[in-house]
Amino acid sequence: MCCWKTIKSNRINMKKKNEKLTSEQKIILFEEGTEPPGSSELNYEKREGTYCCANCGIKLFESSYKYESGSGWPSFFKSLPDVFETKTDHLLGYPRTEYHCKNCGGHHGHIFNDGPEPTGKRYCNNGVCLIFEPKN
């Protein structure tokens, strides 16, 4: 149980919580859950636009940063500048870099080092944590 305690105490404090979220969104954003792979329709979103935080609405990704990773989750090779803070979790027994919205503290996903050029990063984002706003 000591591990669980450590994880809890490391948790980034929430600044504000949108009460309109679904229970699935709440679990992923605030309990660091993960949606089933392939479950998000944003996997197939190809339009031009912006991806925003489902909790606070701040802009996180441009559609031009999105790519098809084959992972089953919406994937981006970078984010807009300075929108996330990261921490390391050990929930699966090995270190992973998880990222949170800097504005509200909501958990979005994990960053891996197997992304495409120019960054080599893969932001593996839960689709339910994002709101897509098409251009125009």
- State the catalytic residues: 124
**Shortest gap between Cβ of 34 and Zn ion (angstroms)?**
17
The span of 39-47, 50-58, 110-118, 125-133 binding Zn ion (CB under 5 A) equals 50-58
Interaction between residue 28 and Zn ion (CB under 5 A): no
Between 40 and 103, name the residue whose CB sits nearer to Zn ion. 103
The one among 52, 56, 129, 130 contacting Zn ion by CB under 5 A? 56
Q: Is 127 helix (H, G, I), strand (E, B) or coil?
A: helix
- In DSSP notation, 66-113 reads EE--SSSS-EES--STT-EEEEEE-TTSS-EEEEEETTT--EEEEEES
Cα R_g (the chain), whole angstroms? 14
Our CA angle for 7, 119, 49, nearest 5°, is 90
Between 40 and 55, name the residue whose CB sits nearer to Zn ion. 55
**Shortest gap between Cβ of 105 and Zn ion (angstroms)?**
7
For the window 83-122, what string marks contact with Zn ion as x by the rule CB under 5 A?
Answer: ------------------x-xx-x----------------
| Phi then psi dihedrals of residue 24, to 5 deg | -65, -45
The residue ranges that bind Zn ion (CB under 5 A) are 53, 55-56, 101, 103-104, 106
